[in-house]
Chains A and B, each alone.
Chain A
Amino acid sequence: MINVGENQMNFLVIDHVSHTYFTRQSAVTALENISFMIQEGEFVSFLGPSGCGKTTLLSIIAALIKPTEGTVLLEGSKIDSMNPSVGYMLQQDYLFPWKTIEENISLGLKIMGIDTNEAKQKALNLLSEIGLKGVEKYYPHQLSGGMRQRAALVRTLATNPKILLLDEPFSALDYQTKLKLEELVWKTLKDYHKTALLVTHDIGEAIAMSDRIFLFAARPGKLVHTFIIPEELRSLSPLAARQHPRFSELFQSIWKELDQLETD
Chain B
Amino acid sequence: MKRIDHHIQLLHEQYLVSLQKEKRFVRFIQLLIFFIFFLLWEIASKQQWIDPLLFSSPSNIWELFIAKLADGSLLSHIGVTLFETLLGFFLGTLLGTMLAAALWWFPRLSKVADPYLVVLNAMPKVALGPILIVALGPGFTSIIAMGAIISIIITTIVVYTTFKGVDTNYIKVLKTFGANRWQCFIEAVLPASFPTIISTLKVNVGLSWVGVIVGEFLVSKQGLGYMIIYGFQVFNFTLVLLSLLLIAAFATVMYQVVSYMEKKLIKNR
Contact = CB atoms under 8 A, between A and B. Distances in A.
Interface of A: 62, 64, 81-84, 86-88, 90, 92, 94, 96-98, 107-108, 111-112, 139, 141, 159
Nearest to A161: B176
Contacts of B176: 62, 64, 84, 86-88
B191 A64 contact: no
Best-surrounded residue of B173, B175, B179 (most CB of chain A within 10 A):
B173
A90 B169 contact: yes
A107 B178 contact: no
A50 B86 CA distance: 54
Contacts of A98: 191-192, 194, 268-269
B183 interface: yes
Nearest to A62: B176
Contact of B178 (A81, A90, A141): A81
A81 B178 CA distance: 6
B170 A94 contact: yes
Contacts of B169: 90, 92, 94
Contacts of B192: 98
B101 interface: no
Given A90-B169, A96-B170, A111-B187, A84 B177 contact: yes
Contacts of A159: 177
A109 to B, nearest CB: 8
Given A64-B172, A96-B170, A112 B269 contact: no
A159 B175 CA distance: 13
B212 interface: no
Interface in B184-198: 187-188, 191-192, 194
B87 interface: no
Given A88-B173, A92-B169, A94-B169, A83 B178 contact: yes
Contacts of B126: none
B95 interface: no
Nearest to A158: B177
A87 B174 CA distance: 11
